[in-house]
Structure 1
Amino acid sequence: MKVTHVNTFDITGGASRATYRLHQALCRLGVDSKLVTLDRQSADPTVVQAPSTRAESSLRRAVFEYLQARRTNVSDCIFTVAHPGVDISALPEVADADIVNLHWVGQFLGPQSVGALLDQGKRLVWRLSDQWSFTGGCHYATGCTGYERDCSDCPQLAASERALPKAVFADRRRNYADRSMHIVSPSRWLAGCARRSALYHDKDIRVIPNGIDADSFSRVPGARKMLGLREDSFVLLFVAVQFDRRKGFVEMAESAARCLLDPAMAALAGEGRLELLCIGSERYSPPDSSLPFRFLGATSDNLVLRAAYSAADVFIIPSLEENFPSTVLEAMCCATPVIGFDSGGIPDIIAHGATGLVTPTGDVEALAQAILTLQRDPARRRAMGETGLARVRSEFSSENQTRRYLDLYAEILEQPALATQGARPSARPPAAYAALLSGARPLVREESAQSLAGTLERVFRHRARGEFAPAHGILDDMLARGFEVVEALRTKGGLYAAQGRFDDALACFNMCLAKRPGSPDLLANVSDALRMAGRFDEALAVLDDIERAEPGFSGLALKRARIRAAVVAAG
């Protein structure tokens, strides 16, 4: 059986991590599984980057920026239209696949991209990460039910753009609404939304919860020391790639502020023994700067993430809209109890009163009381954590998820093969698409083949494919021409570090520092290379130098955590 998964990213973000875990689990069972992605960050040879030109990438960015500038205040969650989408139907990994399993493909596959796969007669499974595949562009509808009809009068876009979601929805309907597809939702909530949608109401819709390997994503001994946290602190953890309003950061912060009205919690805070640890975007400003937040920044480093979950007394997930958050599974794998709102798929995972507490969505007082309840009862926290770990092993294991997908794939393969229809007659693109591109094109950044951004993009593409020789060749040409020498040397140092040539990497960074003495960004590169080389004390010392020179430099806490994590991993 040949299975090809398709996801915009391979390891960045919760949806990508869930996709990659399923792909890895299938590979471990001997399935010929591949992952096609638009933005490859891993070095996994089973991950394939779809071809995309510099001009196409620039236009995608411009379309995204154009739409974000025309959003209403109804939602700040992303709104994406994959036009022009990428046609992956001719890729060997796709053409040869028995099953094509789509996942999160925003800004990657448009309706016509999906239609092209169906034209080939591909057996198509689509695992839903959010509502995007059956809406006119929103990833979360924020209470709107327009997707049950035709997505006209979209409340998330300005009135001048209201024709676009309806046109996207109609394009989806034309390309795949009446064709054979199998829809998988990790949560009961999202499955219910899909069944009510105008596009999927007559489709085969299954619920298969995401899984996780509790043995590989496990508790880390000495996690607090690794993260620089006091052993006697009470630590709350919040994790989100982006702090959209739907993620509930504001509600979490307000609940924390209410907790400080409790004398015991106020005493902890006064003694420096209360920590609100946050992993994700550092762009967000806490509504109350007096709260003891510690922002580590964004990371996809599994060891750092495991350390954060292990260090926490309680993991908080106050999302107002959510599908099936991988973060809850990750916390439970580390035997950490979870408190969350009763939204989306959160109550599918948390067994209220056994593995954590579920409170009414948006009720900040109830969330505060739940935090106080567990803060006062360490024994209950420990019991909930152990029960949560047992629940992951019994109900949300990687093995369970993989078996369910293999059963689904086998069932689909037993059905008669779909007829290859060939390309459908070309239809005139909706006028709203033309208007979108017309508005976005002025935002395209001019990047000639000789521009810095354009040149480095070519380097990074080679690096993503593990092609170091041509990547170095491009940089050597830049150096020979005297073009952006510092950036060329800096990028070359990054390539050397990725190759394990740490002395060469450090030599490049030091040459950069000779031209830009004391640059904190370059010193951070030096620290990273020292960490990768196993020279941990030197790496920490460089970070100390940066902090003395520029105390507000972003990401220092995360870099220190990664060094401590590397120390633990090195034994």
Structure 2
Amino acid sequence: MKVLIVNTSDIEGGSAKSALTLHKEFLDFGISSEFLVQTKSSMAEGVTGNSGKLNKLKVAIRSRLDRLPQIFYPNRLKYPFSNSFLPVEGEVKRKFAEADIINLHWVNNGFISLEYLKSLKKPIVWTMHDSWVFTGGCHLPFDCLRYQAKCGGCLSLQAKSSFDLSTINWYRKNKVFIQSNITFVSPSQWLAGAARSSSLLKNKPIETLGNPLNQKVFKPLNQKFAREVLNLPDSSFVLGFGGNAVVSDPNKGFKEVVAVLQSGKLKAKNITLLVFGNKDRVDLKIEGVKIINMGIISSDYLMGLVYSSIDCLLVASKSENFPYVILEALSCGTPSVAFRVGGIPELITHRKNGYLVSPYDLTDYADGINFVYKLGKVSMLKSCASKAAQFEASKIAKKYISLFETLILANGSR
């Protein structure tokens, strides 16, 4: 069995982490696996893709071309919207042709066109990391349910017509999905439920397989030791806030976190906030709070130290599928405070391994931080570890392998 895993990046974002972790597990199981990316940044075995300044320019051009139709919607919201219509490059086609089964992850940014999938006479497993697969183009529909019909009058585009770019994309996807052999996978029950309610995927096979977690790296470490390594104050109540573009992405809720820290409702008086995953520094002064910018952390081992050093992880996203930051923090024995949205309740058991905040109640958010401060991280260590263990990488990889084998066998009998 030859598996081709496809994602835009091999290191950036949760989809890259999921895809790369699966790829490494497949190799460990003796599976012939190749990981095809649009932009290669790691030196991991079996990762194929281009790198360098020329490729960076090419990717930027393709990404802008893919977004070109949005110029007709000048009032569109600043949330991601993708079309995926650019022709697939020759080397990508060759890799697809060599595989027995293809596992797509996040393939936007002008990387893979929808129409190309119709030409593939082999099974495809599409792991959904957001809602884009079953919408007319938006990645985060929030409270919009128009994907249950044929989209149109898109709220993300601020479209005035009921027939718009999202409607066109809906018809494109519908045609592709009818003519392709695709099984869809969702990391969370929440996203799987939304997909099943959509007009595009309501009659399609959808499996739920959690994100794979490398527990050899993400494991509890002595907090005092972790703080010594990172040069953090031992007596401070340390909070973590991080993720991909965690400050610049409006969905991540940095403004809400700042508002809570400025509210004066927190019982801890000596607070340190570690901000990680953002390119730009946070130059902000909050009374009683020391802010430390960690920047982008590319090492999982260093990230594990960060999780072990903090007392609590803050997640303020307005929409999330199955966030790795919470999963990794749990694996390191660290509770999270997060809004009760998306797939987050599948990771956080309220008052057991964290605190689920009523959306988007900032007073309740402060109560959640106070709850963790009063109870203490150590009291939740066992609950954190037991939840994380459910998603240990080899367990999830075995489920994928079983699914792949079933689909290849079924495809061969056609």
Indicate yes or no: 2:257 matched with 1:252: yes
Cα separation, 1, equivalents of 2:235 and 2:189: 39
Cα separation, 2, equivalents of 1:50 and 1:165: 31
Partner of 1:6: 6
Displacement of 1:392 in angstroms is 1.6
Partner of 1:155: 155
* Deviations 1:266-305 (CA, angstroms, capped at 9, x unpaired): xx2xxxx311111122448688754533222222221221
> Does the 8 Å contact 2:76/2:158 carry over to 1?
no
- Structure 2 vs 1, CA of residues 238 and 68 (structure 1 numbering), >3 Å: closer, same or farther? farther
SS in 1 for 2:117: helix
Displacement of 1:340 in angstroms is 1.5
Indicate yes or no: 2:59 matched with 1:57: yes
SS in 2 for 1:36: strand
Displacement of 1:330 in angstroms is 0.7
Partner of 1:405: 400
Cα separation, 2, equivalents of 1:63 and 1:365: 43
SS in 2 for 1:340: strand
Cα separation, 1, equivalents of 2:397 and 2:25: 7
Displacement of 1:133 in angstroms is 1.5
Partner of 1:382: 378
Displacement of 1:55 in angstroms is 7.8
Cα separation, 2, equivalents of 1:79 and 1:248: 19
Which residue, out of 90, 93, 96, partners 1:94? 96
SS in 1 for 2:334: coil
TM-score, normalized by length of structure 2? 0.89
Cα separation, 2, equivalents of 1:217 and 1:140: 28
Which residue, out of 223, 226, 234, partners 1:231? 234
Partner of 2:217: 216
Cα separation, 1, equivalents of 2:342 and 2:159: 29
Structure with higher strand content: 2
Q: Greater CA radius of gyration, 1 or 2?
A: 1
Q: Residues 469-548 of structure 1 correspond to what in structure 2 (within 5 A)?
A: none
Cα separation, 2, equivalents of 1:190 and 1:284: 33
Cα separation, 2, equivalents of 1:198 and 1:88: 33
Identity percentage over the alignment? 28
> Does the 8 Å contact 1:38/1:49 carry over to 2?
yes
Partner of 1:323: 321
Structure with higher helix content: 1
Displacement of 1:142 in angstroms is 2.0
Q: Residues 261-276 of structure 1 correspond to what in structure 2 (within 5 A)?
A: 261-262=265-266, 264-265=267-268, 268=269, 273-276=270-273
Cα separation, 2, equivalents of 1:70 and 1:96: 39
Cα separation, 2, equivalents of 1:88 and 1:236: 47
> Does the 8 Å contact 2:262/2:286 carry over to 1?
no
SS in 2 for 1:14: helix
Indicate yes or no: 2:85 matched with 1:83: yes
> Does the 8 Å contact 2:79/2:156 carry over to 1?
no
- Structure 2 vs 1, CA of residues 43 and 311 (structure 1 numbering), >3 Å: closer, same or farther? same
1:254 maps to amino acid: A
Q: Residues 135-154 of structure 1 correspond to what in structure 2 (within 5 A)?
A: 135-154=135-154
Q: Residues 106-185 of structure 1 correspond to what in structure 2 (within 5 A)?
A: 106-107=108-109, 108-115=111-118, 119-159=119-159, 163-185=164-186
Cα separation, 2, equivalents of 1:71 and 1:383: 51
Displacement of 1:323 in angstroms is 0.5
> Does the 8 Å contact 2:217/2:301 carry over to 1?
no
Partner of 2:194: 193
* Deviations 1:424-449 (CA, angstroms, capped at 9, x unpaired): xxxxxxxxxxxxxxxxxxxxxxxxxx
* Deviations 1:158-212 (CA, angstroms, capped at 9, x unpaired): 4489732222222112222453310110001110111111211110011111121
Unaligned runs of 5+ in 2: none
1:104 maps to amino acid: W
The number of residue pairs the alignment matches comes to 405
> Does the 8 Å contact 1:36/1:50 carry over to 2?
no
Indicate yes or no: 2:407 matched with 1:415: no
> Does the 8 Å contact 1:75/1:142 carry over to 2?
no
Unaligned runs of 5+ in 1: 420-571
Cα separation, 2, equivalents of 1:122 and 1:88: 18
Query: Could you tell which deviates more after superposition, 404-413 or 61-70?
Result: 61-70
Cα separation, 1, equivalents of 2:284 and 2:193: 34
- Structure 2 vs 1, CA of residues 90 and 331 (structure 1 numbering), >3 Å: closer, same or farther? closer
2:16 maps to amino acid: S
* Deviations 1:92-149 (CA, angstroms, capped at 9, x unpaired): 432222210100111111211322xxx2311110000001112222111121122222
* Deviations 1:445-484 (CA, angstroms, capped at 9, x unpaired): xxxxxxxxxxxxxxxxxxxxxxxxxxxxxxxxxxxxxxxx
Over aligned residues, Cα RMSD in angstroms? 2.7
Partner of 1:37: 37
> Does the 8 Å contact 1:88/1:94 carry over to 2?
no
Q: Residues 333-482 of structure 1 correspond to what in structure 2 (within 5 A)?
A: 333-378=331-376, 381-393=377-389, 395-417=390-412
SS in 2 for 1:386: helix
1:45 maps to amino acid: E
> Does the 8 Å contact 2:66/2:86 carry over to 1?
no
* Deviations 1:388-425 (CA, angstroms, capped at 9, x unpaired): 113222x1111221121122112212214387xxxxxx
